[in-house]
Amino acid sequence: MANINVKLKIWRQKNEKDAGKFDVYDLKGVSTDSSFLEMMDVLNEQIIQGGGEPVAFDHDCREGICGACSMFINGRAHGPDTAVTTCQLHMRSFSDGETITVEPWRSSGFPVIKDLMVDRAAFDQILQEGGFVSINTGGVPDANAIPIPKDDADASFDAATCIGCGACVATCKNGSAMLFVSAKVSQLALLPQGRVEASRRAKAMVAKMDELGFGSCTNTGACEVECPKEISIANIARLNREFLGANIKS
């Protein structure tokens, strides 16, 4: 097990109205086997022992499931590795003596709560507009008995793996939430249970996304590259078809 010394340049901000600034911390003897969040825990212990206020950051499962660990590390959402969340990033991805810059998600749709914590309630509001099925398909055995082509079932499952972490928004130069919204629309649009409400769903979720201040999609593909669950931008094309079809029908 190797240890490294790192310099941490971390964004500190008291609240949404505070201007905020970077503070620099030296951390020595960090195990390369530790996760990035474990390293942050060690840093906070050091700060508290020195009489300072610990860095606020979101975390929950620490297993790459919840998406809470939203950090922008050295200019990349969730850090330098691909297909991982911040909690799955390990310190072996960094070099001895390296300066690591850590920021919160930067988006008008995600206002800063404190330090590295942002308010991602906007995603919940978008889901509340249509990210569900309210049509009665009978009991579970009845719903499970509905035949679904395997390709559609697989594509729906792939879209459903989106954990709503917001990396796509933080990465996009426009602050677009299209990858998130398209994944949530696709996972239902591909299933017969979701087709009944398809038109209303696409229009309502896109309208709410625009209302909350997220930017437009210009298909740069950055969101797909940085998504920890590798959600495909093919879902964005599907959302556009669903949205266009809904407007033609109405």
pLDDT at 113 over 70: yes
Residues 6+ apart with CB under 8 A from 13: 19, 20, 21, 104, 112, 114, 115
- What is the phi/psi pair of residue 15, to 5°? -165, -175
> What 3-state class would DSSP assign to 30?
strand
Tell me what percent of the residues of the chain surpass a pLDDT of 70.
98
What are 190-246's pLDDT values in tens digits? 998 899 899 999 999 999 999 999 999 999 999 999 999 999 999 999 999 999 999
Domains and CATH numbers, the chain: 3-114 (3.10.20.30), 120-249 (1.10.1060.10)
What single-letter amino acid sits at 57? F
| C-alpha dihedral (206, 76, 54, 99), degrees to nearest 10 | -160
In this prediction, residue 139 carries a pLDDT of 72
pTM of full prediction above 0.85: yes
Q: Which residue has the tokens 């860095």?
A: 55
Measured distance CA(197)–CA(70) in Å, rounded = 32
Average pLDDT in the chain: 95
CA nearest neighbour of 171 among 245, 124, 231: 231
